[in-house]
C-alpha cells in the first residue's frame, strides 16, 4: 500500500513539474520580451538638471511597441545624431509638423507656451523652426550645458529609443 502511495506521489510530482514548466514557459513567452526591453543607465552630465542629476540611475524602455507614440513633454532616450554609439536623455518638445519658437526665455510650440523648467532656456536665445516629417525636436532641461536640438537640429524618429520610465516624468 505504501508503494502505491509513493507511486501516486511520484506521478503527481511529475505532473506538477510539467505544469510548472509550461506555466514558466508561457510566462517567459508572454512577459519575457517586455521585461527584456527595460534598461538601467546612469545619467552623464548636467544637461537634464534639475529633472535628472549627474550620476543618477534611470530606467528607460527600448520601445519596439508599435502602439507607443512619443508625446510632447515626455523625457525620452534617443541615439545621438552626431556621436555614433552615444544615447541622449532629453525632453521631447516637438513632433513632426510642429512650429517651434524660442524667444526671450520661453519656448512656444504651435503658438502655446511649453511647460519647461526655468533653466531650460536662456533669455538671449532665439530660434524658429518647423519640425520636419519623420523627426522630433528635443531639449535638455539645463540650457547652459545641454547639447540638444538647438545645436544639432531636429532628430530622425528612427533615432528614438523609447521613454524614460523611472523616475517618472510627464
pLDDT score, position 76: 95
24-81 pLDDT tens trace: 344 444 555 555 589 998 999 999 999 999 999 999 999 876 777 899 999 999 999 9
Catalytic member of 17, 27, 47, 119: 47
**Structural domain boundaries of the chain?**
1-36, 38-166
pLDDT score, position 34: 53
CATH topology of domain 38-166: Umud Fragment, subunit A (2.10.109)
Catalytic member of 17, 63, 90, 101: 90
113-133 pLDDT tens trace: 998 888 888 888 899 999 999
Q: Is 101 a catalytic residue?
A: no
| 70-107 burial code (b ≥16 CB/10 A, e <16) | bebebbbbbbebeeeeeebbbbbbbbeebebebeeeeb
Q: Is 37 a catalytic residue?
A: no
Amino acid at each position: 500500500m505504501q508503494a502505491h502511495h509513493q507511486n501516486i506521489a511520484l506521478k503527481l510530482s511529475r505532473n506538477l513539474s510539467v505544469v510548472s514548466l509550461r506555466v514558466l514557459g508561457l510566462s517567459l513567452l508572454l512577459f519575457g520580451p517586455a521585461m527584456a526591453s527595460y534598461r538601467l543607465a546612469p545619467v552623464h552630465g548636467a544637461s537634464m538638471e534639475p529633472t535628472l542629476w549627474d550620476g543618477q540611475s534611470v530606467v528607460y524602455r527600448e520601445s519596439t511597441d508599435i502602439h507607443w507614440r512619443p508625446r510632447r513633454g515626455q523625457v525620452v532616450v534617443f541615439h545621438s545624431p552626431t556621436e555614433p554609439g552615444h544615447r541622449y536623455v532629453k525632453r521631447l518638445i516637438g513632433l513632426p509638423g510642429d512650429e517651434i519658437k524660442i524667444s526671450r526665455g520661453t519656448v512656444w510650440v504651435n503658438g502655446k507656451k511649453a511647460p519647461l523648467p526655468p533653466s531650460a532656456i536662456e533669455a538671449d536665445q532665439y530660434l524658429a523652426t518647423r519640425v520636419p516629417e519623420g523627426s522630433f525636436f528635443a531639449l535638455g532641461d539645463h540650457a547652459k550645458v545641454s547639447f540638444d536640438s538647438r545645436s544639432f537640429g531636429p532628430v530622425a524618429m528612427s533615432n528614438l529609443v523609447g521613454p524614460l520610465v523611472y523616475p517618472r516624468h510627464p
